[in-house]
Each structure stands twice: as structure tokens, then as C-alpha cells.
Amino acid sequence: MTVSQLIAKRTGLGKRHAKKLLESGQVILNDQLVTDGTLPLGKFDHLTAGGEMLQANTPRYLLLHKPAGILSATTDPTHKTVIDLIDEPWASELHLAGRLDRATTGLVILTNDSTFSESLTQPGKKIPKTYLVHTDLPIPPESIEKFRSGMSFKKENTRSQPATVDLLTDTSCRLTIYEGLHHQIKRMFLRFGIRVTKLHRESIGPYQLADLKPEQWVLLES
């Protein structure tokens, strides 16, 4: 969308009116007077025309500690979602940059900036995601070898990047994967007949859960 298209749309007075406002020096884009209506406009650019604020979206980036039982979704008819944990008037504008299963706890990132969320979720970006994993049976060395060399996922017709695995006890490890396939970690362990009993995400790329308590969230500087 261009400056003049947005003016025409938001005022409802058409392109001729937009042109008049531009020519008479009544259009301010991010604190600067502009006369060129063909300038492209991003979602977070602020635009005032004829003294009227026509666009003033604020980019928002949140880290949230998802507790077990809460859905990684924006709306749901029956279950509480991560959006229900954010008591702010702008909460409904947010979407998730990657989901967790309902029982999984830990870090989720919410934003209204789709360029940012895509930079974290597109498979080609290979963003590391680190989890604490607890299992019902001891984790055998051959599973660790397989995780470290990469596994094929037929349904998605893909192969995982080599994962990082640190064994903590017989039945727990810290695991870093670079994809976000549906139930990926559970499926990785199930190949060896092992069930994941607890899963907790500690980080996504450079973003850490740190000392956020369950249900707590924090805004990142934009």
C-alpha cells in the first residue's frame, strides 16, 4: 500500500482528495512532511493527513511462559489460550511465532509483526529451539546418535538438522532442534519406543525464558 492509497482508503474521499492533501503539505509520515503519494507504507509507519491520524500501529514482541493446559492458539471455543493470559486491549492483534503442544510448558513468542514471526518460524531460517525433555524409559545411546545425525520425517518429506543433545540423567536431556514440525520431539523419541513425559522450552534463537514464571510475560524493546 502507498501513502496516497492509504489516505484514500482511510478518509473514504478518494485519490483526488489524497493528492490535494499531499500537494498542500498536509501529510506527515513518521514526523516528516511528505508530498510523494507513491511512497510505500509499512504496517508500523505512522501517517497523519489533514490533521487526522490515519495509521499508528505499534509493533509488539512478547515472551510468555506458557503453563501446561493452555492452548497455543489465538482463539478457542472451549479452552483457555495464550492470548487469554494477556490482559491488554491489544492482545487480540497478536499471533504466535511457533506453537507448543497443550501439555508442553515454556517459552512462546507473540507478536503483531508477521515479518518478525516469519524470521523465527520459516524452516530455512534454522532457528535453534532448546527443550528440557523427560522420558518414561532410559534414553539409549543409539537414539542420541540418530538425533545428532538428523532424522527423516516422511509426512513432511524433510530431514531434521543435526540436533544437539546433552544427557542430564538416564531419563532426561536438553535437546536443541532447528525445525518446528508437529509433535517433533515426541515423534523423535517414539521412533525408539520412548514416551516424552514432560517437555519444557527454554529458548528460541536468542530469546530465553530466563526467570519468567508460568503465565508471566514480558514485552521486548521494539
By CB under 6 A, name the binding residues for ligand URA: 100-101, 104, 183-186, 199
Give all strands (DSSP E) within the chain, no chain letters. Answer: 27-29, 32-33, 47-49, 52-55, 61-66, 95-96, 105-111, 129-135, 152-153, 158-159, 164-169, 172-177, 196-204, 207-208, 217-219
Supply the minimum distance, in Å, between the C-beta of residue 131 and ligand URA: 6
Nearer to ligand URA, 4 or 184 (CB): 184
Supply the minimum distance, in Å, between the C-beta of residue 113 and ligand URA: 23
**Given 76, 87, 101, 136, the catalytic residue:** 101
Count of CB atoms situated within 10 Å of the CB of 22: 21
User: Which amino acid is located at 149 in the chain?
Assistant: S
Nearer to ligand URA, 45 or 101 (CB): 101
Supply the minimum distance, in Å, between the C-beta of residue 164 and ligand URA: 15
Nearer to ligand URA, 84 or 101 (CB): 101
In the residue annotation, 211 being an active-site residue is answered as no
Would you say 138 and 195 are in contact if contact means Cβ atoms under 8 Å apart?
no
What's the rounded Cα separation, in Å, for the pair 64 and 95? 12
Would you say 210 and 217 are in contact if contact means Cβ atoms under 8 Å apart?
no
Supply the minimum distance, in Å, between the C-beta of residue 98 and ligand URA: 9
Just list the catalytic residues: 101
